[in-house]
Structure 1
Amino acid sequence: MVGHLAVADSLMGVYMLIIASADVYYRDIYAYYAEEWQTSAVCKFAGFLSVLSSEGSVFFMTAISVDRFIGVVYPFSKVKLRPKSTHITAGLIWFLAFIISLLPLLIRGYFNDNFYSRSSVCLALPLTTERPSGWEYSTTIFLGVNMTAFIVMLACYGVMYMAVKSSAERAGRRDVNRAQEVELALRMAFLVFSDMFCWMPIVIMGILATTRVVEIPPISYAWIAVFVLPLNSSLNPYLYTILTREMSKKKKSQSSKETLSSHLNKAYQLDDGAGLQYLGGNYFVQ
C-alpha cells in the first residue's frame, strides 16, 4: 500500500514538471497565449494527473488508516488486508481515482470541455464565487469526499491511540510506556494534521467561495498548485516510509532482546547433566 501511495504522490511531481515547463515556455508572453494554453491537451492532461494523484493519495492514506485501525483495535478480526485483498483494494482505488479524474474529459456536455481549463495551473478547485459548468462535481470531490476521508483518518488514529493507551494502563505499564505513548501520539497527530494542513485550507476556501461569502483571488490557485498540494505529496514518503522503518527497527531490537533473554533462561534450565548448556542455538561446555 505504501508503494502505491508513493506512485500516486510521484504523479504530482509529473504534474509540477508540466506546469514548470509551461511557465518557462510562456515566460513574459503568457498574456498572449493564456487561452491557448488553458484549452490545450497538455493542460488538460496536467489537470487529469493532479486529480489522479491527489485523490489516489487521499484514498490510499484512508485505506492504510482503516487497515491500521482494524489491526490495532481488533487484532483478532478476520477482516484484514491480506496479499490478495490488498491487490484488489489497490486496484479498486486506482480505478476509482482514474474514473474521477477522467470523467471531466469524457462528459463534455456537462463539463463543457473546460473543467481543467479554469485556471492557468489547470486545477478545477471550487475556489470561485462563479458557478461554471461542473462546479457541483468539483465541490463534491474536493470538498465532500476529501473532508470525509480526513474525518475517517482522524477518527481511526484517535481510536487507535486511545486503545493503545488503555491497553498499557490495564497491563500496569503506564509509567514504563509513557514515552512510547507520547511518541505514538505525536506520530499519529503528525500523520493526520499534515494531511489536514494541506487540504483544510482548500476545503475552507472552497466553502467560503461556494457559499459566496468571500471572493478568492485567482492567485490562490497558483499558491495551492505550487505549495499546498505538492507539500502533502512530499511529506507522505517520510511519514509512511522512514517513520515506519524506524518503528520496525525498534521492534526488531526489542524482539532480539526478548530472544536473547529467552535463550539465557534456557541456558539455566537445559542442563543434560554432562556439563553442557544450550545458548543461542549452540551447546557450550561449562
Structure 2
Amino acid sequence: MPSLLQNNPVARILAWTFGIMGILGNLTILWHQHKCKLLKIRAHNSSNTHQQHATRKTSLVTRYLICNLAIADLLGSIYLIIIASADVYYGYHYPNVFRNPNRGNVTNPWLLSPFCHLSRFIFFLSSIMSIALTFVIAVDRFIAVIFPYSKFRFDLYRCRIITTACWFIVICYALIPTIRHLIYRITKGFDSNSNLCLYRDVVRKHTFNFIRSRQIIYFILTGAIIVLYNAIIIYVKLKSSNMRSQLNKVEKKIFLVMLFITISNIFTLLPTFLVMIFSNNREFNISIQSFQLMLPIFIFAIYFSAAINPIIYFVFTNSSKYKAILSSCFKTQKETTIPLNTHCSTLQKSNFVDS
C-alpha cells in the first residue's frame, strides 16, 4: 500500500520498535528518578563523611543529567511514533496521492498537518540536544575524575543553569526550519526528505547551510567527547593502585553508565551524517532511489540510542541488586542442601549401628 515511507518495511519496523521501546524506557527512567535515587549510598563509618557528601553530590548531578537526556530521547521516540502513525493514516486515506511520489505539482497533504511541523521541530531538537547533553555529561565526568576537588565541579545549581542554556539554544536552533516552513508553506514534494518532515527550503542554499551547521555541531561535540573520555581513561591508567582505589564504587559505576550511554549516542548518530556526506559527494555515485530507500532507515536508526539507553541505565544501576539476589539464591540453596547431607549421614550412621 502506498504510504509516507514508500512501502519500506525495514523503516516501518524500526520506527514502531524504537518508538515504543523509547517511550516506555524513558518514561520508566523519569518515573524511577522520582521514586528512588540513582545509586544508593550507605554510610559505613563516620570518618568518611566528606567522601559520602561528594558521592551524594555526584549522584544528584548524574540523576539530573540522566533525566534531561531521557527527556530528549523521549522526544525522539515521539517523533518516530508520529511518523509511523502518519504512515498508516495517510497510506489508508490517501493511497492515490502517494502512489506516484515523483509528481511535482501535487500538494502533499501530510506537509500541511501540524503534526508534520511538530515532528520537524522535535527531530532537530532531540537529535542536537542528545549530543549536547552527552557533551555536558563528558565534561562532568572529566572534572569529577581528574579534578575531584575543583571549585568548578558541577553541582545541581550549575548543572541546571547549563542544561537550561542548552535547551534554550537548541530550541531556537530547531525553530529555524519550522518557522521557515510555516512562512513559505512548502507543500510540494513526496520524497523521503519531505515525508520525514526534515528541512526543505525554497532556497537550496539555506537547506545546505543548515544541514552543514548540524554536521559541524555533531563533529565538534563528538570530537570533544572522545578527547575528554580518552583523557579520563589515560589518567586513570597512569594513576598508582593506591590512588586508583580512591575512586569509590559509585564513581566507577557512574562513569561506566555515562561511557556506554555516550558510545550509544555517538554511534547511532554517525550513520546519518555519513549518508548525508556521501549523498552530497558525487564520487560515491549514490543513486536517488538508493538514497530515498536508505534515508528513513538511517534517520530512524538515530533513535536506537533512545531505546537502548534505558536498558544500559537499569542494567548498570541495578547490577548490585541482581548480584544480591543471585547470592541470596545460592545461599538458600546451600542452606537447603547442607541439612539434607547431614540428614543422610545421620541415617547412614544409624543404619550402621543397627547392623
TM-score by length of 1: 0.70
Distance 1:241 1:149, change over 3 A: farther
Cα distance, 1:66 vs structure 2: 0.7
Cα distance, 1:161 vs structure 2: 1.1
1:80 and 2:153 are equivalent in the alignment: yes
**Hey, what does 1:32 align to over in structure 2?**
97
1:166 and 2:241 are equivalent in the alignment: no
CA distance in 2, matches of 1:167, 1:90: 32
Distance 1:58 1:204, change over 3 A: same
Greater displacement, 92-101 / 38-47: 38-47
Structure 1 vs Structure 2: percent identity of aligned residues?
A: 25
Q: In the alignment, which of 112, 121, 145 is matched to residue 196 of structure 2?
A: 121
Unaligned runs of 5+ in 2: 1-64, 102-107, 246-251, 324-355
Q: How does 1:184-199 map to 2 (within 5 A)?
A: 190-199=260-269
CA distance in 2, matches of 1:41, 1:210: 30
CA distance in 2, matches of 1:84, 1:188: 20
Q: How does 1:227-242 map to 2 (within 5 A)?
A: 228-240=301-313, 242=315
Cα distance, 1:145 vs structure 2: 0.5
Q: Please tell me the root mean square deviation across aligned C-alpha atoms, in Å.
A: 3.6
Cα distance, 1:185 vs structure 2: 9.6
1:222 and 2:296 are equivalent in the alignment: yes
CA distance in 1, matches of 2:227, 2:167: 24
Greater displacement, 239-248 / 94-103: 239-248
CA distance in 2, matches of 1:45, 1:25: 17
Deviations 1:121-142 (A, max 9, x none): 21339xxxx946422112211x
CA distance in 2, matches of 1:41, 1:172: 54
Distance 1:93 1:245, change over 3 A: farther
Count of residue pairs brought into register by the alignment: 237
CA distance in 1, matches of 2:157, 2:112: 42
CA distance in 1, matches of 2:135, 2:313: 12
8 A contact 2:140–2:154 mirrored in 1: yes
Residue type at the aligned position of 2:294: S
1:44 and 2:108 are equivalent in the alignment: no
Cα distance, 1:5 vs structure 2: 0.7
Structure ranking higher on relative contact order (CA contacts 8 Å, 6+ apart): 2
Secondary structure at the aligned position of 1:32 is classed as coil
CA distance in 2, matches of 1:152, 1:172: 24
Secondary structure at the aligned position of 1:79 is classed as coil
Q: In the alignment, which of 197, 205, 220 is matched to residue 148 of structure 1?
A: 220
Q: In the alignment, which of 160, 163, 167 is matched to residue 94 of structure 1?
A: 167
8 A contact 2:131–2:221 mirrored in 1: yes
8 A contact 2:272–2:299 mirrored in 1: no
Deviations 1:153-177 (A, max 9, x none): 111111111111111457598xxxx
